[in-house]
Structure 1
């Protein structure tokens, strides 16, 4: 049963920037509006509870018929029907490493789901005495079971600990799949992130069967052929814009959350440079925000938003067309970025009282589904305008 939550009519006001408190670091941005872009006029929105009672939901994917797949971090995937009813757990998933930030993570469906019924997901995979970020695929039968389940990527090497798994998965119409990974909490000692023979802190690109696309940037070199870009900390958001270009958003330490447009073979600097500082207040690396060998983030936040999932808006609300919607875990919000020519023109914070927002899904009718990450998490439907 869908329950009405609230109708919010916010006056059209513009601030110099979104109120967010003082920065943790004193770095100067590399270009105008790389951070603290002007506040956008407030958008009137209506919000309702679509479904609730989920345990730490992590990823949501629309099936195109009013139904959704949702993952719960402890290791369950469920179907949510058009009336908000939640199914029993879907059988057929592999075991997950359910510890710390690990568990069952993102979910996405094939661009041709109506024909091939293929589902993709990421998860923390138990490997020996440790764990690794993994991506898998399977076929969702009309009987509600997953079959033909197989991994298409497993992060190497597996390490101990329950932090910074990433991760998002985006299957593309050309048969390739984007996967994001985290540095597994290595911090300043994260030499694996700068090592192109490992898949820590990397954007990964594989074919849907796990093989390597021939045009990947490290094919034929000494690195792991599956790597697209490197030098990332903990990418928990990824989205493709109207031109088919990949964008990612990643957690910084204290400050330095980054929005990037990962380019083939580029290095984004972690943990050598950062626009943030370490949690205890010390410098990251040598204490520099940038260096010549590293690509600048398109945008960064200090203090952080602790980003979750994200998606470009292509619905019916004209003022939001092409904007980027990002879930915030801390302080919690739905963050809207006005984009133009690859730059951020303005920022708005919505749903600031909804708690930790883990994922975002834009629907064809112009509404937006968001997941709240809680022991009794919800799916909220937001309608702008």
Structure 2
């Protein structure tokens, strides 16, 4: 019998997973927390090669933030549909950013048939200190657009060789599209840098949408490569069953046919089980953590955590560490942060940076450094 938990309201619309109940957290924090800035409902951040940051805000603002995080300037207003969980989402510099100054980002938009997630690219132009985002191009949009305001996903990661872009499309709270071979909803996609389906994707010859890399996902809010080139993602489960998955080409991750959680109305979902044909998560939570961003640590400031995954916790108001060991994973620390953590990133010096979710949690930018 799966545990049942009360549904928690989410700042970004309908909650994606149930509220945690007495989830154990590591008491002592082996880092120093410094509040650096405060934003309005931030969603994502990324570091540029010169140490400055780009930060996205839900309503559509993209900010260029100083190296110390204490000052920022708006460089773009992106037209987004910000209802519910929608808004301006992920932002990542291009693999050749030092030369081409290109930035990739995602957002939710309204269009024929409803709403969906869009991948776009722009370029930072102008003199240093006065840059703007120009030449914005839409590269890809989810197939299909549907009604509703949830589970857009929209996370971006580049392959280690810089040749491919991996893009997450949530199943938009519609369940069955995650198993639909013609839809990109509930999928990890592999695209070219121009947003086209990459040649050689594993399921195209079987009649799937040619962009699909893996399927059977729910709401994928973090994706990252480790040093060995393994692709990891985390996604929100329903009422329980938040997951960390090792993403492998052509695999079916089960949603909504299998989950270690249950439907919000109490209906059971078969647990992941050996031989069921679905790829099981490497780590899962019940009670939930409501995972936000995902980062795999490679810095020198915290050498004991090199190679580990860090996840922002929304309803759990926590920072979560997961031990990664090759193709295996296990739960590590969970530190109570007192606020919904939307995003986690590694700074150039190895410090860990967090973005709170906004609303009751404010939207603070926090730097975690090693104790002196």
The TM-score range, normalised by the shorter chain, is: 0.7 to 0.9
2:363 aligned with 1:377: yes
2:76 aligned with 1:105: no
Equivalent residue number for residue 325 of structure 2: 340
TM-score (norm 1): 0.85
2:30 aligned with 1:44: yes
Instruction: Give runs of aligned pairs for residues 135-154 of structure 1, distance below 5 A.
Output: 135-142=119-126, 143-154=130-141
Which segments of structure 1 move beyond 6 Å, counting only runs of 4 or more? 38-41
Instruction: Give runs of aligned pairs for residues 176-195 of structure 1, distance below 5 A.
Output: 176-186=164-174, 190-195=175-180
Aligned partner (choices 207, 215, 232) of residue 222 of structure 1: 207
Q: CA deviation at 1:196?
A: 1.1
Q: CA deviation at 1:94?
A: 4.0
Q: Deviations over 1:77-114 (max 9, x none)?
A: 101112324434223x5421110000101111112211
Q: Deviations over 1:250-284 (max 9, x none)?
A: 00011101110111110000001110011222213
SS of residue in 2 equivalent to 1:114: helix
Equivalent residue number for residue 156 of structure 1: 143
2:244 aligned with 1:293: no
2:170 aligned with 1:169: no
Aligned partner (choices 80, 105, 114) of residue 130 of structure 1: 114
2:308 aligned with 1:306: no
SS of residue in 1 equivalent to 2:154: coil
Gap change, CA 1:47 and 1:131, over 3 Å in 2: same
What is the distance in 2 between the residues matched to 1:94 and 1:321? Answer: 35
Equivalent residue number for residue 13 of structure 2: none
CA contact (8 A) 1:109 1:171 kept: no
Q: Deviations over 1:270-303 (max 9, x none)?
A: 001110011222213xx34335211111111001
RMSD: 2.1
> What runs of 5+ residues in structure 1 fail to find an aligned partner?
1-21, 26-37
Gap change, CA 1:346 and 1:94, over 3 Å in 2: closer
Instruction: Give runs of aligned pairs for residues 315-326 of structure 1, distance below 5 A.
Output: 315-316=299-300, 317-326=302-311
TM-score (norm 2): 0.88
Gap change, CA 1:212 and 1:304, over 3 Å in 2: same
What is the distance in 1 between the residues matched to 2:42 and 2:78? Answer: 17
Equivalent residue number for residue 244 of structure 2: 259
SS of residue in 1 equivalent to 2:304: helix
Equivalent residue number for residue 66 of structure 1: 51
What is the distance in 1 between the residues matched to 2:226 and 2:195? Answer: 24
Gap change, CA 1:73 and 1:311, over 3 Å in 2: same
Aligned partner (choices 236, 247, 252) of residue 221 of structure 2: 236
- How many residue pairs get matched? 345
Q: CA deviation at 1:212?
A: 2.2
Q: CA deviation at 1:330?
A: 1.2
Q: Deviations over 1:287-335 (max 9, x none)?
A: 3433521111111100111101111111112211111111110111110
What is the distance in 2 between the residues matched to 1:210 and 1:110? Answer: 13
What is the distance in 2 between the residues matched to 1:378 and 1:64? Answer: 23
CA contact (8 A) 1:192 1:200 kept: yes
What is the distance in 1 between the residues matched to 2:37 and 2:96? Answer: 26
Equivalent residue number for residue 9 of structure 1: none
